[in-house]
């Protein structure tokens, strides 16, 4: 694993999906394709839905092999970057746990090693987390109730981009809003290394009452496929590492 790529979907929502495919199933599908799904639930509406929103947030993340976190709008920036980084570590650790398993048998994980060795393995995990490339497809719920939170979301995303830019590895982001103007999901930014000047992206939205979370995740999966295609074409020219 010289310099692999981690793939993540980051879903920011404030309530329950109510249209289209089951988002938990879509998240499971993502996981099968090696894409981790992280979910950030922005507080407020969760209280009024009798825990259903919370359940969905946790369900999506757990099916997607990712992390979920409920936050208040004001803590969004810190949380978004923390969740993203933690999920990276978790994924890398998962790979290492798998290797340990292969070598040592049983269900050995990094934590089962003696404390001294643990430390050394964790340094490797950190090192990888710094140097791997990261592709994040961001899905933002823009249903009516999210409207006044969007300026904060926007800032949190710019902040995330800055945080990740401090790593050694390369980053790519793309941004989808749901519901879109006509379609259930609207792509507003295609794969790009920096999320700057994204004010405009958010000006295009119209607010509906529906929350098609499942279709949005499905759309994100497509964007990874497209990215894989372009990457494959690029790699074809400089064929040295071999395709993965």
Partner 1 sequence: MMTGRDEISIPPGTIVSGKWHGRRYQMIRRLGSGTQGTVYLVKAGNKKVAMKIAKNRGSLISEVNVLKRTGELQGQPLGPSLFDNDDWIVNNQIFSFCVMEYLDGVPLSEALRNKPFDWAVIYVIQLLSVLGRLHRAGYIFGDLKPENIILLSPGHTVRCLDFGGATRIGRSVREYTTFYDRGYWGYGTRKAEPSYDLFACTMMMIYAAEGRTFEKNGNREKQLVQIVRTNDKLARYRSILEKGLAGRYALAEEMRRDMLQKATEQESAPVLRRSHTSRSAVSRTGSERNGWFGAIVTASVIMAAYVLFVMVYIM
Contacts with partner 1, residue ranges (CB under 8 A): 58, 61-62, 67-69, 77-78, 86, 93, 110-111, 114-116, 118-119, 122-123, 126, 130, 159, 162-168
Instruction: Tell me whether residue 123 or residue 199 sits nearer to partner 1 (CB atom).
Output: 123
Instruction: Tell me whether residue 74 or residue 244 sits nearer to partner 1 (CB atom).
Output: 74
CB of 114 vs partner 1, minimal distance in Å: 6
Instruction: Tell me whether residue 151 or residue 206 sits nearer to partner 1 (CB atom).
Output: 151
**Three-state SS at 176:** strand
CB of 68 vs partner 1, minimal distance in Å: 6
CB of 60 vs partner 1, minimal distance in Å: 11
Question: Can you name the residues that pair with 37 across neighbouring β-strands?
Answer: 9
Are 187 and 222 a contacting pair, CB within 8 Å? no
What token pair was written down for 70?
Answer: 């409920």
Long-range contacts for 101-105 (Cβ within 8 Å, ≥24 apart)? none
* CA neighbours closer than 13 Å in the CB half-sphere of residue 33: 19
Instruction: Tell me whether residue 188 or residue 195 sits nearer to partner 1 (CB atom).
Output: 195
Are 43 and 70 a contacting pair, CB within 8 Å? yes
Q: Please, is 224 exposed, middle or buried when counting C-beta atoms within 10 Å of its C-beta (0-12, 13-18, 19+)?
A: buried
CB of 30 vs partner 1, minimal distance in Å: 18
Instruction: Tell me whether residue 76 or residue 216 sits nearer to partner 1 (CB atom).
Output: 76
CB of 111 vs partner 1, minimal distance in Å: 4
């Amino acid at each position: 694993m010289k310099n692999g790529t981690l793939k993540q979907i980051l879903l920011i929502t404030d309530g329950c999906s109510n249209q289209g495919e089951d988002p938990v199933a879509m998240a499971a599908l993502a996981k099968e394709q090696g894409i981790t799904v992280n979910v950030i639930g922005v507080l407020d509406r969760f209280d009024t839905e009798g825990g259903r929103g919370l359940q969905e947030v946790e369900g999506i993340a757990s099916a997607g092999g990712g992390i979920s976190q409920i936050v208040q709008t004001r803590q969004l920036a810190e949380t978004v970057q923390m969740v993203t980084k933690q999920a990276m570590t978790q994924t890398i650790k998962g790979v290492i746990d798998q290797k340990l398993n292969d070598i040592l048998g049983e269900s050995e994980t990094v934590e089962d090693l003696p404390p001294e060795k643990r430390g050394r393995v964790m340094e490797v995990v950190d090192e990888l987390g710094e140097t791997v490339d990261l592709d994040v497809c961001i899905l933002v719920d823009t249903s009516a109730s999210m409207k006044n939170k969007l300026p904060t979301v926007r800032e949190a995303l710019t902040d995330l981009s800055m945080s990740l830019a401090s790593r050694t590895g390369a980053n790519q982001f793309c941004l989808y809003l749901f519901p879109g103007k006509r379609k259930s999901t609207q792509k507003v930014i295609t794969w790009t290394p920096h999320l700057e000047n994204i004010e405009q992206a958010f000006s295009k939205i119209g607010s509906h009452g529906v929350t098609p979370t499942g279709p949005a995740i499905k759309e994100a999966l497509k964007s990874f496929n497209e990215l894989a295609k372009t990457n494959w074409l690029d790699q074809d020219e400089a064929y040295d590492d071999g395709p993965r």
